[in-house]
């Protein structure tokens, strides 16, 4: 069965943006809603699509700079639905830390000042904004993890090329503690994937030369500093962790062959893996592969697929069976189209530069705002 599915996806990739593998009905994308943003902090209103959900979602503002350029500041606020109104919160503002010896560090404007590596996200447990993405906040909302890179002692950054060393910090905001995790075995070009109850999950980037352990997955014990490799599978994009599994796309083709990706899940208990969906994109060498950008309320992966100047969001219902939820004309610019992927009750929320989307099996995929917002909820509602 797997070879037949690979063939059909290959034909889809060349011919159209439809990824309807099984006969599950037609897929449509929702037109963009109209809105007007407010710079003064007053609510900005966007026309909502139909839907029965109601409540409030913390959101971060998309970067306003071009890809690869550093922003002067990030912000956020709260999106309320079904009224589809957005109110900016000045307490969400974060700004770059002015320290030439520490790279990629941000700090909150709100006091007490907290330090992190991005975001912001809103911690429902502590009822305050944190300078990290929601994925880097512990499940109970009491701690968060961030990475910085420091120059060697005694060297001045302006004197020439410097090799910066990575460090991981675990922060307890309530206690005012910022603790450096004692580990000498961090992967090269380490990056935080997710803070889970059983540890902090890490991956390694692919710097010049791309070391053998690039894009694999590790688990760090934040107390002891012990790092354990979870899997030798190498992600073609990034990892997404939820419900005891890690999800990614793996390129199964040899290095000299056209790419052949497989959406794969890894059991975090024992490192065993299972293939879910094979995808052959229409390119002969390098091209952007699929990304798992979220899970639905049933734990099924939601996959972003790129073909040429278009992107689609697809629900993988079971191994080798997927259904397109919507497609859009877009340029990847080396980054994911859908950001956030936060599951609140039975609804998965996504942010894009063209608007905020919500998906549930009962109501389907719908665009609820055309404001460029990223879901940013973390912690536990008191």
Q: What is the tally of structural domains in the chain?
A: 1
Per-10-residue mean pLDDT of the chain, 382 residues long, equals: 35 31 32 31 40 80 61 84 94 92 91 95 97 96 94 65 80 96 76 95 79 88 91 92 95 85 96 93 72 93 88 92 92 78 92 93 93 92 67
Q: Give every CB contact of residue 216 below 8 A, 6+ residues apart in sequence.
A: 187, 203, 204, 229, 230, 231, 232, 233, 234, 235
| Containing structural domain, residue 54 | 2-378
pLDDT for position 103: 84
CA proximity to 241, closest of 203, 278, 213, 207: 203
3-state SS, residue 286: coil
pLDDT for position 47: 37
pLDDT for position 306: 86
Q: Where would I find the H helices in the chain?
A: 2-15
pLDDT for position 53: 60
Cis-peptide, bond into residue 273, ω within 30° of zero:
no
**Beta-bridge partners for 57:** 79
- CA distance linking residue 21 with residue 318, whole number of Å: 11
User: Pairing mode, if any, of strands 377-378 and 121-123?
Assistant: parallel
3-state SS, residue 225: coil
- CA distance linking residue 236 with residue 251, whole number of Å: 6
- CA distance linking residue 241 with residue 246, whole number of Å: 4
* Burial class (CB within 10 angstroms; exposed 0-12, middle 13-18, buried 19+) of 298: exposed
Q: What is the dihedral of CA 348, 108, 38, 334, to 10 degrees?
A: -50
CB-CB contact of 61 with 122 (8 Å) = no
Q: Give every CB contact of residue 321 below 8 A, 6+ residues apart in sequence.
A: 21, 22
What is the CATH classification number for the domain harbouring 288?
2.130.10
How much is the pTM?
0.83
End-to-end CA distance of the chain: 48
Q: What is the dihedral of CA 230, 231, 236, 238, to 10 degrees?
A: -10
- CA distance linking residue 233 with residue 218, whole number of Å: 11
Residue 80: phi, psi to the nearest 5? Answer: -110, 135
CA proximity to 125, closest of 218, 75, 195: 195
Within 10 angstroms of residue 257's Cβ, the number of other Cβ atoms is 11
pLDDT for position 23: 27
């Amino acid at each position: 069965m797997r070879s037949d599915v690979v063939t059909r996806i290959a034909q889809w990739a060349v011919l159209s943006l439809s990824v309807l593998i099984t006969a599950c009905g037609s897929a449509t994308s929702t037109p963009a809603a109209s809105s007007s943003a407010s710079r003064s902090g007053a609510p900005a209103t966007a026309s909502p699509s139909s839907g029965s959900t109601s409540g409030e979602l913390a959101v971060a503002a998309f970067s306003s700079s071009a890809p690869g350029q550093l922003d002067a500041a990030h912000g956020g606020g709260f999106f309320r639905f079904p009224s589809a109104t957005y109110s900016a919160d000045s307490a969400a503002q974060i700004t770059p830390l002015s320290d030439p010896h520490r790279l990629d560090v941000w700090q909150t404007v709100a006091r007490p000042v907290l330090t992190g590596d991005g975001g912001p996200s809103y911690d429902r447990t502590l009822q305050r904004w944190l300078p990290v993405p929601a994925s880097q906040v512990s499940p109970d909302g009491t701690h968060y993890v961030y990475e910085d890179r420091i120059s060697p002692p005694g060297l001045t950054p302006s004197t020439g090329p410097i090799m910066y060393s990575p460090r991981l910090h675990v922060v307890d905001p309530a206690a005012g503690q910022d603790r450096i995790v004692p580990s000498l075995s961090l992967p090269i070009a380490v990056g935080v994937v997710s803070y889970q109850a059983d540890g902090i999950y890490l991956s390694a980037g692919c710097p010049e030369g791309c070391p053998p352990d690039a894009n694999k997955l590790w688990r760090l014990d934040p107390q002891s500093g012990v790092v354990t490799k979870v899997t030798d599978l190498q992600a073609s994009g990034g990892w997404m962790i939820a419900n005891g599994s890690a999800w990614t796309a793996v390129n199964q083709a040899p290095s000299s062959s056209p790419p052949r990706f497989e959406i794969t899940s890894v059991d975090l208990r024992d490192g065993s893996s299972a293939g879910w969906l094979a995808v052959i994109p229409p390119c002969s060498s390098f091209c952007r592969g699929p990304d798992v950008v979220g899970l639905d309320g049933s734990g099924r992966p939601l996959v972003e697929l790129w073909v040429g100047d278009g992107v689609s969001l697809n629900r993988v219902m079971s191994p080798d069976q997927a259904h397109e939820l919507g497609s859009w004309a877009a340029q990847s610019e080396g980054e994911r189209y859908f950001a956030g992927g936060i599951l609140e009750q039975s609804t998965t929320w996504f942010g894009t530069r063209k608007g905020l989307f919500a998906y549930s099996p009962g109501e389907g995929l719908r665009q609820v705002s055309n404001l460029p917002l990223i879901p940013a909820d973390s912690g536990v509602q008191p």
